[in-house]
Amino acid sequence: MARKKRLDVNRILDGDTHAAPAQRTEATYRAGAYIRLSVEDSGKINGYSLENQEKLVLDYIASQQDIELYRLYSDNGFSGKKFDRPGFTELMELVRQGEINCIIVKDFSRFGRDYIEIGDYLEQLFPFLGVRFIAVNDKYDSQEDGRQTAGLEVAFKNFIYDFYSRDTSKKIRNVRSKMARDGQFASANAPYGFLKSPTDKHQLIVDEEAAVVVREIFQMKLSGLSARKITESLNERGIPSPAQYALNHRRGMDWRRLNQKSAWDSSKVIAILKDERYAGNMVSLRRTLNGIYGRDTAIKKEEWVRVEGTHEAIISYEDFLRTQETFLVYHKSQPKTIQRYNASRCAHCGRKLSYSRDRKKFICRYGESNPVAECYRAAYPAEVLKDAVLTSLKWHFDRFVAWEHLQARRMREV
């Protein structure tokens, strides 16, 4: 059966009566339509699943007298297990600002797969903000018959979605474990210096253009140069960093989100120097998630899965071992609280800052070894930064308390 013509969002926004079958009265609800797809390869811009979700939601809006489309939001290639998705975040920001007072999705699983957090949204946040929520295929409307909560039926559906995510996660872990033991490459993007084979995406082949830089990095390290000196040399000569190289060649993940030029830093150089894959050996399962919603954590080195001779080497294994002997054993200088969550960013380039215990300052790694950067060797005293943050927090807390008192006074007056 031929696919129906896709509904034009712009025509609805412009008030074209041909886009909606019924004559509209003044709309009561400004709706944010939200669509999501987890698998990147199946969720390209014109992919059927995203298009199908969009048409279903927009057709529903067009059939409602009291709802108008404010904007369509989408997240392509993002899991529903977590809620820190770009499109979802933008949608919720406008909800909090009062610009949107209705959210419409195809079904609950498109909104998210964590049934506990979905319940918090449906039963607490949305009723508090006066937001109407509609899941078309699940036949759920928070305003139907005056309902403000999800109810047992919705909770059960969300529990099933969550169970499905856990079952899928377990199967993926088993598949990845088998691939690791077989020496197959299982990541989305090939390491800098390699490409995925056009005939087998689980096989690495050498990218000669980038491999030249990788060999030079190892040679400079073996000649006695530090990672910082190597970084400065690469930046001074204008050699693209791994991220910039991928952007220039339009490879890998969605580099359109890279809104600033990327440069080499010491951590990138050290990561290459310590990666055994450049010696032709596949090393896998170095990190894992603690549960389906857990934190991404490192696995002990002795538990890594290592398979020798899986692909062509860029450097010899002997040179790789000699390089490892040049590294000194050191401990991280950042306090544990800063290592766990570091929200401080450079005022010039916006990148995250690192804490130097010796200098008692926050430094920008990007500018530390990049002479052409605006923030070259920029440093921020830790105490000054701490006082600024505390002053800002105090101001926000005072404003919040004042707002709470104002709300309480209004409630008493009513």
**CB-based contact 73:88 (threshold 8 Å):** yes
At 34 the pLDDT is 95
Under DSSP, is residue 409 helix (H, G, I), strand (E, B) or coil? helix
How big is the CA angle at 161 (ends 59 and 91), to the nearest 5 degrees?
50
Beta pairing, strands 287-289 & 296-298: antiparallel
Q: Which two tokens stand for residue 331?
A: 């401990």
What is the biggest distance separating any 2 CA atoms in the chain, rounded to whole angstroms?
80
**CB-based contact 290:297 (threshold 8 Å):** yes
- The domain over range 9-164 is classified in CATH as 3.40.50.1390: yes
Which of 244, 303, 232, 313 is CA-nearest to residue 276?
A: 313
With 0-12 / 13-18 / 19 or more C-beta atoms within 10 angstroms meaning exposed / middle / buried, residue 93 is exposed
SS3 content of the chain, % helix, strand, coil (to 5): 45, 15, 40
Domain residue spans of the chain: 9-164, 182-330, 331-414
Strand extents, DSSP E, 244-356: 282-284, 287-289, 296-298, 305-307, 353-356
Distance CA 241, CA 354 (A): 20
Distance CA 121, CA 98 (A): 16
At 31 the pLDDT is 95
Question: Residue 242: which H helix or E strand, with range?
Answer: helix 242-248
With 0-12 / 13-18 / 19 or more C-beta atoms within 10 angstroms meaning exposed / middle / buried, residue 3 is exposed
How distant is the alpha carbon of residue 347 from its chain centre?
A: 22
Residues 6+ apart with CB under 8 A from 201: 185
Under DSSP, is residue 324 helix (H, G, I), strand (E, B) or coil? helix
**Can you give the pLDDT of all 414 residues of the chain as single tens digits?**
443 333 343 433 344 433 343 444 456 899 999 999 875 434 444 444 788 899 999 999 999 989 999 999 999 888 887 888 999 999 999 999 999 999 999 988 889 877 778 878 888 888 888 899 999 988 888 887 545 445 555 666 666 666 666 666 677 777 788 888 889 998 888 999 999 999 999 999 999 999 999 999 999 999 989 898 999 899 989 899 998 888 888 775 544 444 456 789 888 999 999 999 999 999 988 887 665 555 667 888 888 999 999 999 999 999 999 999 988 655 454 455 444 456 677 777 777 787 777 778 888 877 776 777 777 777 778 888 788 888 888 888 888 788 877 777 777 776
pTM of the model: 0.50
pLDDT in tens, 312-337: 999 999 999 999 998 865 545 445 54
**CB-based contact 103:73 (threshold 8 Å):** no
CATH superfamily of 182-330: Putative Large Serine Recombinase; Chain B, Domain 2 (3.90.1750.20)
